[in-house]
Amino acid sequence: MTNERLKYLQLLGERYNSVEALCTEITRLSAQLSLPKGTEHFMSDIHGEYEAFCHIMNNCSGVIREKVELWLGNKLTHTEADELCTLIYYPQAVIRKRQLQPENLDSWYRNQTHHLVYLAKMLSSKYTREKVRKEMPQEWAFLIDELMHFQDDETAIHTDQEKNRLKYHNAIVDTVISTQSVDGLLIALTDLIKRLAVDRLHVVGDIFDRGPRADSIMDILMKHPSVDIEWGNHDILWMGAAAGSEVCIFGVLRNSLAHGNTVILERGYGIPLRGLALTAQELYPTLRSDQAALHFINIVLFKLEGQLILRNPDFGMESRMLLHLADFENGKITIDGREWPLKTLPSNTIDPESPYELSAEEAQVVHELRHAFRHSIRLRGHIDFLYRRGWMYRAFNGNLMYHGCIPLQADGSFLDVKIHGHVLNGKNLMDYADQMARRAFYSQDQQALDFMWYLWCGVNSPVCGREVKTFERAFIPDKESWKEPRNAYYTWYNDEECCMRILKAFGLEGPFSHIINGHTPIRVTHGESPLKAGGRLIVIDGGFCKAYQKTTGIAGYTLIANSHGMRLMSHQPFTSLKEAQESGQDIHSQSFEFAVYPNRLFVRDTDYGQTLSERINDLTDLLQAYRNGQIHLKPIIPT
């Protein structure tokens, strides 16, 4: 054993004051390896759809209902099972509704407590008691722990000791009912059940834009005990805006106003838009107030984009500088040799000699909005969370998750992207993008801030992968001009060999490694499948956002990976939280199991299991070194 190894083990040994403590820790960690792998829940492209997100989170993509039917199906009627599921999803609403029917209320409380305790007990079998206790609401932890570790099969109670435990169990339930605190117990149990049903949540990008309440979704995610986020292009745009990128700020403004969603800015994040609105009305008095505001945002956005493209020639985005080509007076523009008619809009704020220069009025609004975005405390808290719990990509338990694409050439090989003096592709490109995104927020240097815009809309950006036609959508009525060419990735992701090369580049190989992808809505009505490359790649953007549902035909896909395999969940449109709470209406979901493991997976087969095994090896070496007399365990002296 080397001196360096002995020094490390000596430091490690300072945590243990006896051989017994050391052996206990080795035993505790070794036993965890034999537990079943926890359930992972994947979702993507939420786009501010708070109500649908809440319901999918509450029913864990159908996992809760499956467990109720599996473990209590022979004890409950269909109506009773529906009520129990709704109670777990929305405990406060169900309890309020049931209290309006006081007949047999105490009996109802007893039955629901019994069912919830049983579900929690069954779900807890995958975890150590230590972890389960950590997931319990602290004020109810003692009572829940006592109730969960009681033999609940009354037909098996024979001895006096078992009868005593039954009396003790019943006394707990009777007392919380008589003290009118049972509501709190039920809510705590439902919260515990949902935490145990899913061990890890993966959000594969695009929390923001389109839907109205991305801020409320972020509030929920920040309270989740185990979540990671793979940034999407819309998230990147908001991250750049919060970091102070002026062009990203106006991209956020455009998206919000175009989708009628300024509430998130003004009420959600306290960003005032009155100055913008008043200036726009003064500059464009012939337009309605909303049209004037959007036109003002568009003009400023394209000016700022032009300035950024000129500062960064290596982005290769010169084709997106179109403002100087627009002939608003004659209503036409020529792009790539083809003439297109323009909408009839005022151009009085565009200087023909310096079309990308901001006017004094525009510059003042830009300055005020940048200050507002940079100093919104709630926005900064949400974006800081995105950085702390987010990445450009994530390799986890054999799966590779990223939102957009790995840029490819037409022949399916990795595309070399020249950026900031580097030539990058594949994993190196993703790592560099991750580094630059963090620099933008924590250092605010201009190069990194500009790169956030490139990530948002660059044709070779790994979170975009298409030529974004913002100018055409704003000013050209002919939708043919809106077509956005995509990177070759979106052809090659149907090829299994290509997907295997991508996985290998990220250090993942084997028959059960997959790519989990978002970003591209799956057009189910056109016969498109979310399973690509023989099931090696799964796209889980199926239309969570209401704006896409006419195109996709469904309300989104989610993915469940447990110790037995992987299942794709297809969801029908969600009505409303009010309807779900009042009538018990659940989202109708279909489950398709596309990957079945030949042997059940255990903690030892996971990334966490590998970490535990390495820890066990260190502790075993420490124990051996102690027994060989190479190291002396020092007693821990209380301070």
pLDDT tens for residues 304-332? 999 999 999 999 999 999 999 999 999 99
Report the C-alpha gap between 202 and 375 in whole angstroms: 29
Q: In what order do the strands lie in the sheet with 40-43?
A: 390-391, 227-230, 200-203, 40-43, 557-561, 565-571, 589-596
Q: How far is CA 235 from the centre of its chain?
A: 10
Q: Report the relative pairing of strands 514-517 and 537-539 from DSSP bridges.
A: parallel
pLDDT given at position 142: 95
Give the Å distances, CA to CA, from 385 to 222, 245, 256, 379, 388: 7, 19, 21, 10, 5
- Which distant-in-sequence residues (6+ apart) come within 8 Å of 179 by Cβ? none
Residue 417: closest CA among 316, 329, 279, 300: 316
Amino acid 548: pLDDT: 60
CA–CA separation, 209 vs 125, rounded Å?
39
Residues near 399 by beta carbon (within 8 Å), at least 6 away in sequence:
508, 513, 514, 515, 516, 561
Query: According to the model, what pLDDT value does residue 633 have?
Result: 73
For residues 124 and 457, what is the distance between their CA atoms, to the nearest angstrom?
Answer: 45
Please state, in angstroms and as integers, the Cα–Cα distance from residue 486 to each residue in 26, 255, 459, 490, 493, following that order. Answer: 52, 21, 7, 7, 12
Q: Using an 8 Å Cβ cutoff, are 423 and 417 in contact?
A: yes
| Polymer length in residues for the chain | 639
CB contact set of 6 (below 8 Å; sequence gap of 6+) = 625, 630, 631
Q: What is the pLDDT of residue 551?
A: 59
- Cα angle 628-629-630, degrees, rounded to a multiple of 5: 95
Of 613, 135, 610, 616, the residue nearest 395 (C-alpha): 610
- CB count, 10 Å around CB of 319? 11
Calpha distance 311→305 (Å, rounded): 10
Residue 360: partners with Cβ closer than 8 Å, 6 or more residues away:
none
- CA separation for the pair 450, 464 (Å, rounded): 15
Distance from C-alpha of 370 to C-alpha of 367, rounded to nearest angstrom: 5
Write down the pLDDT at residue 524: 74
Dihedral angle sign, alpha carbons of residues 411, 414, 417, 418 = negative
Measured CA to CA, the distance from residue 543 to residue 565 in angstroms comes to 24
Element (H, E) at 441: helix 426-442
DSSP β-bridge partners for residue 590: 570
* Residue ranges per structural domain of the chain: 3-35+605-627, 61-200, 233-378+416-482
- Closest to 58 in 3D by CA, of 85, 80, 40, 39: 85
Q: Rounded distance, CA 281 to CA 301, Å?
A: 17
What is the separation of C-alpha 337 from the centre of its chain, rounded to a whole number of angstroms? 42
Please report, for residues 109, 230, 407, the alpha-carbon distance to residue 113 in angstroms, rounded to integers and kept in the order given. 6, 38, 53
Helix (H, G, I), strand (E, B) or coil at 229: strand
pLDDT-flagged residues of the chain (< 70):
151-158, 542-555, 573-577, 580, 582-588, 634-639
Identity at 204, one-letter amino acid code:
V
Q: What is the pLDDT of residue 546?
A: 64
Can you tell me the distance from the alpha carbon of 439 to that of 4, in angstroms, rounded to the nearest whole number?
A: 35
- How far is the C-alpha of 216 from the C-alpha of 85, rounded, in Å? 23
13 vs 173: CA distance, rounded Å: 45
| Positive or negative torsion for Cα 434, 57, 54, 537 | positive
d(CA 121, CA 144): 10
> Whole-model pTM?
0.93
623/618 Cα distance (integer angstroms): 9
Residue that is written with structure tokens 């099969």 in the block: 153
Hey, what are 340's tokens?
């297109």
